[in-house]
Structure 1
Amino acid sequence: MMSLQNDGVTVVAEDSTPIAGDPAALRRRLREQGMLLFRGLLPEARPAELRARFAAVLRRHDWLADATPDSATDGDGGGLRPAANRRDGSPRWWRMYEDLQSVELMHELAHAPQLVRLMTAILGKPLLNHTRRQVSLMHPGFWIPPHQEHTYVQGTPDVLTAWVPFTAFPADGGTLRVLRERAVPGVRPLTVHDSGGVEAVVEPGEGDWWRAPDLGPGDVVVMHALATRAVDENVSPFLRGAVEYRYQSSREPVCLASLRPHHYPRVPGWEVLAAGWNDRRWLRVPLRVRQVDFLLPERQESWHELLPRPVSRLVDVEPGRT
């Protein structure tokens, strides 16, 4: 099980719903906390419908136990009971994930008016809605170690991620955490474990962990790309899930990978994934976006040395650190 002990404390994240219409207050809280939590920002029916669409894909690929209910309100609080011995990375997993990426509603939901208004309030116009959208599936026993999205997204440091659960995330189902810091330390060094896992280095006493407990369909957590985030181990017997949408100003640089499908080219391009959709406007991007190269080191431990020092207009970056 992942440990987040760093001599700090863990505090429950503050609900930012009351200030959702105040751009200055949103930017101020984001600068102070690195994250924003919104209860019921989206109509619950939309992520619940997405859960049903995803469940159909998972069931078609034999990824769910037969007893998994069809309704998000049936007994398990919106969790999905996975079939035994189903894990990421297998050939069967890639075929299943391709079909998840083909679900049009997942891409449509990234354009929900509530999300677009919120991101525009923080980032300003014109807005770039990344078309690389991620489905995070949390199996029982799975956790996500501390990391910064900027390392893997790059482009402008001022990318915001909307973490949108389509199942419940109760206390035992994997709690999302974000490190609260007075200033982010730039790009953190990475540690590669013998198991192959990678995590960002967080020194003792660097900050406190904000905790976003008991999330469910309709709730949204917004996080800055330089914020350090993690998800606790899912000790429930259910599969938990969220989609991750990313936004930035279209005046700032973006990597081409952020405009392609998640896990491309292991997952096919849009001409395959979007075949049969009712509308492809979910994939549109503003004209004349400035694309930059994605920087990949020879060794992951040296990634922080390869990436340029980030300059942000949304969060404070510590002086004198890479």
Structure 2
Amino acid sequence: MSDRNTRTSRRAVLASAGAAIAATAGCLGSTDDEPPEAYTTPAAAEFDGVVDSQWLEGNLDDVHLLDARDEEAFLDARIPGAYHFPDSEMLDSYAEETPDGFEVSPEVIAWTLSEAGIETDDDVVVYGAESNLWETYAIYTLNALGHEGQVSLLDGGYTVWDAGGGETTTGSPEAQEATYEPELDTGVVATREFVAENVGEDDASTPILDMRSPEEYWGVDERGDLDRFGHVTGATNLNFVQSIDGEAGRLRTPEELETLWIDDAGLSPDETAVAYCQTAIRASVGWFVLEQLGWEDVRNYEGSWADWGTLSEDDGYYFTTGEDSGTVVDTFA
């Protein structure tokens, strides 16, 4: 991956160009109607990895687009230039924990990106219906593949773009000819062994963040055919939905995110942090937010509870269960 300064400078160049265009173009081509509330967003103004509809309008020709919605919605209407990034490929063919350790198979994802005309140094914007978990998991996945260009979230997603009168098109785009050559960056991934090295019988030596509901965290809501239910010992519960403004369909403001993650959860950007959920999808929201807040080392436990719940304390994979156990941060619950 390129370093943070390289990504910031690239974003600054595109941002200045987008601001100039947007100043003369109006709101997504319409000067008569008021834009939707999330047309411009506080998170996009503050974070390097977040853009809004206004920015995208001015930079549409300078970035590649990945649509993380379901296929039916994608075919019905999409932003021009967008290609579909199926959740099945992100979830089923990227990585897994095996008895022999952590194994990665990026070939299918690399092929999909090649068909979208994307190469490793291209700037990419990912969008969904609003701002939610599959989008951040797509961004995390590209980072794990070692993508060198800036990968950003469209805050508010397709919903805001469409509501603001943004141009749309239908059907599948033609396949492109490109070569995507991933160089894995496992620095954004927490394997089961990495988690085990930082978790003891009574506590964790590094922040472990459980992004599921409190009921799953306590082991009351039992999901999947697993041997045990509860949470990684020492983990703090931070339900992923708290980072999203559900009414506006976008990320919470930077100030609200700092309150949630730094003030109330007591986390510090100079610490290594690990996020997990059931299958690493919801946890990607925490991974993404912490990266935007300035964490240099934040990791997503790819196996998450679907893996940890199959393991044994006899082998050092400690867990805690029981209602009201552990610590729940519920600032925006």
What TM-score bracket applies, with the shorter chain setting the length? under 0.3
Higher RCO (C-alpha under 8 Å, 6+ residues apart) = 1
Whose helix proportion is higher, 1 or 2?
Answer: 2
**TM-score calculated relative to the size of structure 2:** 0.25
Query: What TM-score, normalized to structure 1?
Result: 0.26
